[in-house]
Amino acid sequence: MRFLYACFVIVLCALIFCEYVADFVVLQKCKWPEIKRKKYVDDPLRAMILADPHLLGPHRGHWLDKLYREWHMTRAFQAASRLFQPDVVFVLGDLFDEGDMVSDKQFQEYVWRYLKMFHLPPGIPLISVAGNHDVGFHYKMHPFFMSRFESYLNNSSVNLYTIKQIHFVVINSMAMEGDGCMFCTQAEDQLKNISRTLYCMKYPLEAECARTRRHPYSQPILLQHFPTYRISDTMCEEHDAPYIEAFRERFHVLSKDATDMLGELLKPRLAFAGHSHHFCHSVNRLGIDEYTVASFSWRNKVNPSFMLATITPDDYVVSKCKMLPQQFVFNSYLSAGILCLIVIGFQLRKCIQSRRQSSAVDHRKVNYLD
């Protein structure tokens, strides 16, 4: 029975390593990027940015797929939050896979699962951006979907967040259609209000700025689900997409007009987006660095990743952090299984040899008696 015990130990070790330890081992290779300039370096903002977790709902996917991959997302996020202890975490849309398909009761359960999986210690904000799977593409957006997302996740079409004197503008990409719909009109009005707020931060002595809140000005950082306009990932300086496809305006990326409007109103210095499920670093149409963040889920990408950004009011450094690859886990369990088979085979060989030797001894005894 020793071989069964050995197999049990092998499988148990593989299970503990893959399910509880491997995320920490892999993520240990990542570290916060450092800003070399001296100004503001004493207290930079450290932001962890991820995208497209796509939590499965009641209609799509197998329950085992849902259970296992969400378990690994939970383990990966908790490992990352413990190791890196960020000041803020941004999730750039498509939190849910079926957010625009479920009832209000199911959506409440969705939100409960999401907040449980991406739980953070008190004082660290989790800022969630709307994606097309959360509220629908533009043609499917409805006040019901929008209001419940805003209600449960405290995020409207356009929001301005200021953390450690760093300004972030969070945008609902699906409201950037520019066709005069009520969502687009509301989003454009909010953008203009934020533009005025930023202007007054920059020029606080202007008469029109007397009642505006007085945060020190710095160029904002843009966060949304859709990337700004680009024709494809051929425009990326770095990317990890397995193949290149042409992007459609208003479906894969923002339109040229929407991109230009954001540049004119906000004058951002840096942009982050998701949606494509693959990493890309490009200098976008506005002439600024844009990072498209890969999906956080094994369901969309076998080698997921997220971004670590160190930011000050006048500088930033961004690095990509690779997560535990799905294939590594499969290979680990396969190796454990093969090792078990080797142990069993070795034990069977010993048993067969022992029986042969015993049979040979018995045969000699019979011959001796004869």
As beta bridge partners, residue 320 has 307
For the segment(s) 31-324, the CATH number from 3.10.129.10, 3.40.640.10, 3.40.50.720, 3.60.21.10 is: 3.60.21.10
- Residue 349 binned pLDDT confidence (cut-offs 50, 70, 90): confident
**Cα-Cα end-to-end distance for the chain:** 38
Is 52 labelled as part of a ligand binding site? yes
Question: pLDDT per residue over 229-272, tens digit each?
Answer: 999 999 999 999 999 999 999 999 999 999 999 999 999 999 99
Q: In this structure, is the dihedral angle defined by the CA atoms of residues 248, 254, 142 and 152, taken in order, positive or negative?
A: positive
Report the 10 Å Cβ neighbour count for 244: 12
Question: What is the spatial distance between Cα 135 and Cα 172, in angstroms, rounded to a whole number?
Answer: 10
What type of residue sits at position 133? H
Specify the pairing of strand 221-224 against strand 158-163. Answer: unpaired
Question: pLDDT per residue over 45-56, tens digit each?
Answer: 999 999 999 999
Residue 210 has pLDDT above 80, yes or no: no
Long-range residue pairs from 33-36, CB within 8 A, at least 24 positions apart, any chain: 33/308, 33/309, 33/310, 33/317, 33/318, 33/319, 34/310, 34/317, 35/310, 35/312, 35/315, 35/316, 35/317
**Can you spell out the DSSP letters for 245-275?**
-PPPBTTTB--HHHHHHHHHHH--SEEEE-S
> Residue 228 has what DSSP assignment?
P
Question: pLDDT per residue over 61-111, tens digit each?
Answer: 777 778 888 899 999 999 999 999 999 999 999 999 999 999 999 999 999
Report the 10 Å Cβ neighbour count for 23: 22
Average pLDDT (176-190) is 92
Domain residue spans in the chain?
A: 31-324
Question: What is the spatial distance between Cα 57 and Cα 62, in angstroms, rounded to a whole number?
Answer: 10
Is 133 labelled as part of a ligand binding site? no
Is 132 labelled as part of a ligand binding site? yes
Report pLDDT for 359: 64
Report pLDDT for 97: 94
Report pLDDT for 368: 53
Is 72 labelled as part of a ligand binding site? no
Rounded to two decimals, the pTM is 0.90
Is 54 labelled as part of a ligand binding site? no
Question: Minimal CA–CA distance to 286: which of 201, 233, 222, 239?
Answer: 222
Is 119 labelled as part of a ligand binding site? no
Question: What is the spatial distance between Cα 114 and Cα 108, in angstroms, rounded to a whole number?
Answer: 10
Report pLDDT for 74: 93
Question: pLDDT per residue over 292-342, tens digit each?
Answer: 999 999 889 989 999 999 999 999 999 999 999 888 888 999 998 898 888
